[in-house]
Amino acid sequence: MQATLWQQLVHRLAPNCCLWCQMQVQQPQTQLCDFCHAHLPSLDLSWVDQNALLLPQVAQGLKRPKFDSLYSLSWYRQPYRHWISQWKFQQHHAAGELLCQLLYQRAILYQQQGGPLPDCISYTPVSNQRLQERGFNQAKLLAQQLARAWHKPCVSLFQSPDLVPHQIGLKRKERLANLKGKIQLQERPLPAHITLVDDVITTGATLDYLSALLKAKGVQTVSVWTLAITRA
């Protein structure tokens, strides 16, 4: 998006700093300097048919997933690790805006390269308590970027009336035990292909659980999009 004259003037008077190196950015409406943007880590999925599940490092950690494909921007490493943590736990909204922009840009490129598109996009839910604590559901905000890029509906398919304990540091079986009965699928007609969105995939337990709920109701294809993948 081209900056207006007013935005250019504001940028000249009070230029913003790069969210990684803290140097002055070159253009208004941007949050990374040209150098940091050019050197962002990226996961090349062109040689595995745009499906990270076919990467040996991913297949080693995700055994027999219930979803059919996985697309992520990067491994869970810096600077993504820092930005995701700042966004989720420190309410650093500039980091969230940057991550949403990066996902939107990648979604546009994915479509231009002929990647298969879903009928709708949904996301990992959070409980009302966690939503009140954090003020937002980061997975929903990310899902809205895919919906905007692909002109597809973003729909709420799941509800989580009970608080799911934090999953950080837990093994797959422990994560699945935490999820049982905590997340429910809303009663509504479901299309054939749904994309699920989350910020990070680690063991895949949450997305597996959601995918199993969808497929039990007749959904044929579940694709998953995340910002990052934690290495096995």
Q: 175 falls in which pLDDT band (50, 70, 90)?
A: low
Whether residue 186 contacts residue 159, with contact meaning beta carbons closer than 8 Å, is answered with: yes
CA 3, 138, 209, 194 torsion-angle sign: negative
Percent above pLDDT 90 for the chain: 68
Phi, psi of 74 (to 5 degrees): -160, 165
Choice among 92-101, 156-165, 193-202 with the minimum mean pLDDT: 156-165
Alpha helical stretches, state H, the chain: 5-13, 34-38, 56-61, 80-90, 93-112, 128-134, 138-150, 172-179, 205-216
pTM given for the model: 0.87
pLDDT at 129: 81
pLDDT of 222 over the 60 cut: yes
d(CA 34, CA 66): 39
Determine the distance from the C-alpha atom of residue 124 to the mean position of all C-alpha atoms in its chain, rounded to a whole number: 10
41-62 per-position pLDDT tens digit: 999 999 999 999 999 999 998 9
User: What are the structural domains, with CATH classification, of the chain?
Assistant: 1-39 (no CATH), 43-229 (3.40.50)
User: What average pLDDT does the chain have?
Assistant: 87
d(CA 212, CA 36): 39
d(CA 227, CA 127): 21
171-224-209-151 Cα dihedral, nearest 10 degrees: 140
pLDDT at 2: 47
